[in-house]
């Protein structure tokens, strides 16, 4: 068989390249022709899926401390992840973060450095942010925006959240209490007016503008195009052509739940394979069944590592469990 292996990362346990590599090795040993296509949805892992970093720039972290942010430059195309400059982990997680003060200024510095080093197209991966500043910090670092004239800014979004809704939907995950969420929401509402007045851009109702705490909306003011992350990454790594020629597609992620089918890798890969009439298997760490029956595509086969290997072993020995599962996929 010709098999395409196109998983996302298993968050906290294995990156997409590792998962794809383990599954592909076992399937090739069985005599199958395998194409490994590690995937991402625009969040963390996008940089690795698109070739990995080969540059590093020191920028301001989310709370102002300097951080070394890795990014990629190939020819005239740059790939950056905002989490490398303004990510929640850099702030010490939700417990160490200051959700009101956290800024995307470092992300703007990273974008500016990419352009100054010759990039004429910049792919920006969102996800894992510490911030809810609406992208204001990034715009301040990028000022004046004329420096980005003629630069194609492509923002890979993994959510469709509206700009102001970013506070309510995401800020609690970044350490914000109820009063802080209300403050951040008012701040985003004010930024809608500022961006409309200063840049002639209405970010209020643009799907995805709330990604990364509104950074996506802020970058619209610099002429960015917001694109579904799965589609963008899939285009750049040749997923669509690979699936078209496949007899079977294997995708996967750490936890399968209803959100897996809302702009995420498993849902995007499964939808593509379904449209092309190719059978699909999702290999996942665990399954959260709540509401899953409503969104689970017809014909998608799901294999859970925790069910096959046991919950404890599936966490401690992800690669071993992946090999065990892969041996019985076909």
The region that residue 326 occupies, defined by phi over 0 for left and psi between -120 and 50 for alpha, beta otherwise, is: alpha
The pLDDT assigned to 87 comes to: 97
Structure tokens at 212: 């990364």
One pLDDT digit (tens) per residue for the chain, 330 residues? 999 999 999 988 899 999 999 999 999 999 999 999 999 998 889 999 999 999 999 999 999 999 999 999 999 999 999 999 999 999 999 999 999 999 999 999 999 999 999 999 999 999 899 999 999 999 999 999 999 999 999 999 988 899 999 999 999 999 999 999 999 999 999 999 999 999 999 999 999 999 999 999 999 999 999 999 999 999 999 999 999 999 999 999 999 999 999 889 999 999 999 999 999 999 999 999 999 989 998 889 999 999 999 988 888 899 999 999 999 999
pTM listed for this prediction? 0.91
Do 218 and 315 lie in a common domain?
Answer: no
Same domain, 225 and 258: no
My answer on whether 203 and 143 are in the same domain is yes
Q: Please give the Cα distance from 303 to 244 (Å, whole number).
A: 23
Residue where a domain terminates, one of 184, 199, 230: 230
Q: Are residues 64 and 197 in the same domain?
A: yes
What is the CATH number for 264? 3.40.50.10350
Phi/psi for 147 (5° steps) reads -65, -15
Q: Are strands 55-60 and 66-74 parallel, antiparallel or unpaired?
A: antiparallel
Q: How many domains, the chain?
A: 2
In angstroms, the CA 139 to CA 143 distance is: 6
Looking at the structure, do residues 246 and 107 belong to the same domain, yes or no?
no
Same domain, 118 and 252: no
Tell which of 201, 230, 259 closes a domain. Answer: 230
Give the whole-angstrom CA distance, residue 144 versus residue 243.
Answer: 43
Residues 184 and 67 in one domain: yes
The CB density around residue 70, as the number of other CB atoms within 10 Å, is 17
* Whether residues 162 and 76 fall in one domain: yes
153 and 274: one domain?
A: no
- Asked if 192 and 101 sit in the same domain, the reply is yes
Q: Where residue 184 sits, what CATH number does that domain have? A: 3.90.1510.10
> Do 84 and 173 belong to one domain?
yes
Same domain, 121 and 225: yes
Of the three residues 230, 248, 275, the one that is the final residue of a domain is: 230
Domain that holds residue 309: 2-37+238-326
**Dihedral sign computed on CA atoms, order 163, 167, 192, 125:** negative
């Amino acid at each position: 068989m010709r098999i395409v292996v196109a998983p996302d990362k298993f968050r906290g346990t294995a990156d997409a390249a590792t998962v794809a590599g383990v599954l592909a090795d076992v399937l090739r040993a069985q005599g199958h022709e395998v194409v490994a296509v590690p995937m991402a949805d625009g969040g963390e892992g996008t940089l690795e899926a698109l070739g990995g970093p080969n540059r590093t720039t020191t920028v301001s972290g989310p709370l102002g401390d300097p951080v070394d942010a890795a990014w990629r430059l190939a020819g005239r195309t740059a790939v950056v992840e905002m989490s490398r400059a303004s990510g929640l982990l850099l702030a010490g997680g939700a417990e160490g973060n200051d959700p009101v003060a956290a800024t995307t200024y470092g992300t703007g510095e990273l974008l500016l450095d990419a352009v100054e080093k010759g990039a004429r197209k910049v792919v920006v991966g969102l996800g894992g942010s510490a911030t809810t500043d609406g992208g204001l910090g990034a715009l301040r670092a990028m000022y004046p925006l004329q420096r980005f004239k003629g630069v194609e800014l492509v923002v890979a979004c993994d959510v469709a959240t509206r700009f102001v809704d970013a506070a309510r939907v995401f800020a609690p995950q970044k350490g914000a209490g109820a009063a802080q969420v209300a403050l951040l929401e008012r701040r985003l509402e004010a930024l809608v007016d500022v961006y409309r007045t200063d840049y002639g851009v209405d970010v209020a109702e643009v799907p995805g503008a709330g990604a990364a705490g509104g950074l996506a909306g802020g970058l619209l003011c610099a002429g960015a195009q917001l694109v579904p992350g799965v589609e963008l990454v899939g285009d750049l790594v040749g997923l669509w052509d690979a699936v078209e020629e496949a007899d079977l597609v294997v995708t996967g992620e750490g936890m399968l739940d209803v959100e897996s089918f809302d702009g995420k890798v498993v849902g995007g890969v499964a939808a593509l394979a379904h449209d092309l009439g190719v059978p699909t298997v999702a290999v996942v760490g665990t399954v959260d069944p709540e509401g899953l029956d409503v969104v689970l595509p017809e014909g998608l086969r799901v294999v859970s590592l925790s069910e096959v290997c046991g919950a404890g072993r599936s966490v401690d020995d992800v690669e071993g469990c992946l090999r065990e599962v892969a041996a019985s996929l076909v």
